[in-house]
């Protein structure tokens, strides 16, 4: 990709996303963690690409998102940005990159924009981050919120459990959603909550809501690309729909490759390179022997 393409601004901007909600046009967000996947996701028509701290689990094979660092988010953000031309790019602020204080959070958010090439950052949490969100928005960093099941708080929640299932907890999440909008968040991810609650929040807010395990009434939906493609046959939560079965198809392709290598079928002539002129004279089977002898003679000359 050329430098010109790399610096091309996103054509799907914050105002565009707000206008999509106003028109009743659903928003599609998908995760990506590398340039090739990002290119394919954009080609498929996604509106937003999220480099989630889910990379800790999906890419790094860890049991949670808690160990992901700002440097790792920047690294993956740079790769994804190289694969995109027009799609809105959001990077997660990982655990402990913004919880200590506003100054620390502003510094890290700035790095995700400047070094990670994000168009916006996403952070988990509610009204307790109003001041931070307002500060980031004032200095030109768009913020996407995240409520409901927030993976960075799994120890507090007791694991990956549906949130907002009681009247009190539902009202609490609604209050936090309104607080985030008031602080200047331009969109809000709702994860792992009842559809009735996400519908109420979506209707109450003027900013887009993007659901994952939150029902169909949100303004948009997000899925992890590996889940969408059915790459992990052992991971099948209720909220995921696999649109492909690459977890089955990819091993079959690899097995076929292995079988052809073992049988001597691959590579064939069509996969091989051939010299345009003869490399050795007819009947000359000692070409390689003469080359070795010449090399040995050169070594003897240096010794002398």
First-last CA distance in the chain: 53
pLDDT digits (tens, 9 = 90+) for 124-143: 999 999 999 999 999 999 99
Same domain, 55 and 194: yes
Reply yes or no: is the peptide bond before residue 267 cis, omega within 30 of 0. Answer: yes
Is residue 289 predicted with pLDDT exceeding 80? Answer: no
Same domain, 274 and 155: no
Predicted pLDDT at 303:
59
Residue 8 DSSP one-character state: P
Please report the sign of the dihedral spanned by the C-alpha atoms of residue 45, residue 225, residue 26, residue 47: negative
Same domain, 177 and 261: no
Q: What distance in Å separates the CA atoms of residue 73 and residue 52, rounded to the nearest whole number?
A: 8
Same domain, 139 and 280: no
Cα distances (angstroms) measured from residue 163 to each of 190, 197, 198, 214, 293: 10, 10, 11, 10, 77
Is residue 280 predicted with pLDDT exceeding 70? Answer: yes
Q: What are the tokens at 63?
A: 């049991």
Q: What distance in Å separates the CA atoms of residue 145 and residue 172, rounded to the nearest whole number?
A: 15
| Domain termination site, one of 242, 264, 295 | 242
Same domain, 272 and 161: no
* Total domains present in the chain: 2
Same domain, 172 and 261: no
| Domain termination site, one of 242, 268, 289 | 242
Same domain, 284 and 186: no
Domain holding 278, by residue range, is 251-303
CB neighbour list of residue 298: distance below 8 Å, 6 or more residues apart: none
Contact, 117 vs 85, CB < 8 A? no
Quickly count: other Cβ atoms within 10 Å of residue 180's Cβ: 27
| Domain termination site, one of 190, 216, 242 | 242
Reply yes or no on whether 289 is catalytic.
Answer: no
Same domain, 274 and 238: no
Same domain, 110 and 66: yes
Is residue 171 predicted with pLDDT exceeding 90? Answer: yes
User: What SS3 state is found at 300?
Assistant: helix
Predicted pLDDT at 1:
39
Q: Name the strand (E) or helix (H) holding 124.
A: strand 120-124
Q: What is the DSSP string of 13-78?
A: -HHHHHHHHHHTPPEEEEE--SHHHHHHHHHTT-SEEEE-TTHHHHTT--SSSTT--HHHHHHHHH
Q: How confident is the model at residue 282 (pLDDT cuts 50, 70, 90)?
A: confident
Quickly count: other Cβ atoms within 10 Å of residue 138's Cβ: 9
Predicted pLDDT at 5:
40
Q: What is the DSSP string of 161-191?
A: -----SHHHHHHHHHHHHHHHHHT-SEEEEE
Q: What are the tokens at 51?
A: 């480099």
Q: What distance in Å separates the CA atoms of residue 76 and residue 116, rounded to the nearest whole number?
A: 8
Same domain, 41 and 119: yes
Predicted pLDDT at 154:
76
φ/ψ of residue 295, rounded to 5: -65, -40
Domain holding 70: CATH number? 3.20.20.60
pLDDT digits (tens, 9 = 90+) for 1-36: 334 344 444 699 999 999 999 999 999 999 999 999
Same domain, 137 and 268: no
Same domain, 155 and 285: no
| Options 115, 191, 248, 270, the catalytic residue | 191
pLDDT digits (tens, 9 = 90+) for 37-46: 999 999 999 9
Looking at the chain, the whole-number percentage of residues with pLDDT higher than 70 is 89
């Amino acid at each position: 990709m050329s430098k010109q393409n790399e610096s091309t601004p996103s054509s799907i901007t914050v105002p565009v996303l707000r206008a999509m909600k106003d028109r009743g046009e659903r928003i599609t967000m998908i995760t990506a963690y590398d340039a090739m996947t990002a290119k394919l996701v954009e080609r498929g028509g996604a509106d937003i690409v999220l480099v989630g701290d889910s990379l800790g689990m999906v890419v790094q094979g860890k049991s949670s998102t808690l160990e992901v660092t700002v440097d790792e988010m920047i690294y993956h953000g740079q790769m994804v940005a190289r694969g995109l031309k027009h799609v809105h790019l959001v990077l997660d602020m990982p655990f402990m990159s913004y919880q200590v204080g506003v100054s620390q959070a502003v510094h890290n958010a700035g790095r995700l924009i400047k070094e990670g090439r994000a168009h916006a950052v996403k952070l988990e949490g509610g009204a307790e981050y109003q001041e931070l969100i307002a500060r980031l928005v004032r200095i030109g960093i768009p913020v996407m919120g995240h409520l409901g099941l927030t993976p960075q708080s799994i120890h507090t929640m007791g694991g990956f459990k549906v949130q907002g299932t009681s009247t009190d907890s539902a009202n609490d999440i609604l209050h936090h959603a309104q607080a985030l909008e008031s602080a200047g968040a331009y969109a809000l991810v709702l994860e792992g909550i009842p559809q009735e609650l996400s519908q109420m929040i979506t209707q109450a807010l003027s900013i887009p809501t993007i659901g994952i395990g939150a029902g169909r009434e949100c303004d948009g939906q997000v899925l992890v690309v590996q889940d969408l493609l059915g790459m992990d046959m052992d991971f099948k939560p209720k909220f995921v729909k696999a649109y492909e079965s690459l977890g089955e198809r990819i091993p079959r392709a690899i097995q076929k490759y292995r079988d052809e290598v073992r049988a001597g079928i691959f590579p064939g002539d069509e996969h091989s390179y051939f010299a345009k002129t003869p490399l050795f004279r007819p009947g000359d089977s000692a070409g390689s022997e003469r080359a070795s002898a010449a090399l040995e003679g050169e070594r003897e000359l240096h010794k002398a």
